[in-house]
A = this chain, B = another copy of it.
C-alpha cells in the first residue's frame, strides 16, 4: 500500500526558536509532493532531512505573513542553481505574485524553469487544483489577514486484482487496468466474471486538512469532517486565551475542540508561540479534549 505522509519542516510561529522553524510542510501522496507554506529556512530544512524535491511541483501558501512565505525566494533560487527544469506552480493570493516577481526578476533572471502563479480566493471553499491523484480545496479561515487552509482529498484508488484470478481465467494484461477500475471480465466462452470475484476493495482514499493560521472557527467543521489527519494551529494555551483571541490564533484546547467536533481521525498541532519551551503542555491541553492528538515537531514524518 502506498502511504500518505506529512513531513513537518517547520511548525514554529512568527518567531523561530532553537527547535522550530517557521511554517512549512510537505504532503507526500501517491509519489507526488505538495509543499504547504514556505517560511524562512524551508530549503535548509529540506536539506537537513535529505528531502528530494524532484516530485514537488505545487506550493500552496495559506496567507501572506512572512513566517509562511519568506522562504520562497531562497527555495526557488536554489531550484534554479540545481538546474530544475519542471514548472513550479504556486497557489497563493494575488499579492504574492507581485512581491515575488520583482524579487525573481532581480535575483533569478535565468531560471531554467517557469514559476506559474495561480491566484486563490481565501474567502471561498472551492476546488483550486486537481491532478490524477488528488483534489485540493481552500478552507476559509479566520485570521488578521485573509487566510485559508487547504483540504487535500485523494481520489479513489484502483481496486486490487487477485493474482490467482488472472491465472485462473487467463486474463490478458491489457484488460487489467479496466478490471482494477471495476469492470467485469468476459471469458472467451462468453462467461461473465463479476468484478467482485476478481478484485478486492482498495484502501479508502486519504483526506488531509491544513488549518493555519486561524482563530477558533466552527465554520470549517463541515469542510474537514472526518479527515484522516488534521493539522491545526495551536499557537497558545488557554492561559493566553486573551492574546490568542486578539491575534486571531487558536489555543491547543480549541484545536482539540475542532478535531473532536469534526470527528477527524488524528490531530497534529503546531505553530507554537516561542514562549512555550515545554510543548508537551500544549499536547496535554489538546489531548484533554481530543485523545488522538500528536505533537507536531520539526524534522518529523507523520503517517496521514
Binding site for B on A (CB under 8 A): 14-18, 21, 40-41, 43-44, 47-48, 64-66, 70-71, 73-74, 77-78, 81-82, 95, 99, 102-103, 106-107
Sort A-B residue pairs by CB-CB distance and give the 6 closest, nearest first.
A40-B74, A41-B41, A16-B44, A66-B77, A70-B74, A66-B107
Query: Which residues from B are CB-within-8-Å of A40?
Result: 40-41, 43-44, 71, 74
Pair B18/A82 contact, Cβ less than 8 Å: no
A sample of 14 inter-chain contacts (CB < 8 A) reads A15-B47, A15-B81, A15-B82, A16-B47, A17-B47, A21-B44, A40-B41, A40-B74, A41-B44, A66-B74, A66-B77, A70-B74, A102-B102, A103-B103
Pair A43/B66 contact, Cβ less than 8 Å: no
Query: Which residues from B are CB-within-8-Å of A77?
Result: 14, 66, 70
Pair A48/B82 contact, Cβ less than 8 Å: no
Query: Which residues from B are CB-within-8-Å of A102?
Result: 99, 102
Query: Which residues from B are CB-within-8-Å of A14?
Result: 77-78, 81
Given A21-B44, A41-B40, A44-B40, A99–B103 Cβ distance below 8 Å?
yes
- Distance of A82 Cα from B102 Cα, bound (Å): 28
Query: Which residues from B are CB-within-8-Å of A66?
Result: 73-74, 77, 107
Beta-carbon nearest neighbor of A96 in chain B: B106
Query: Which residues from B are CB-within-8-Å of A48?
Result: 18
- Distance of A244 Cα from B65 Cα, bound (Å): 38
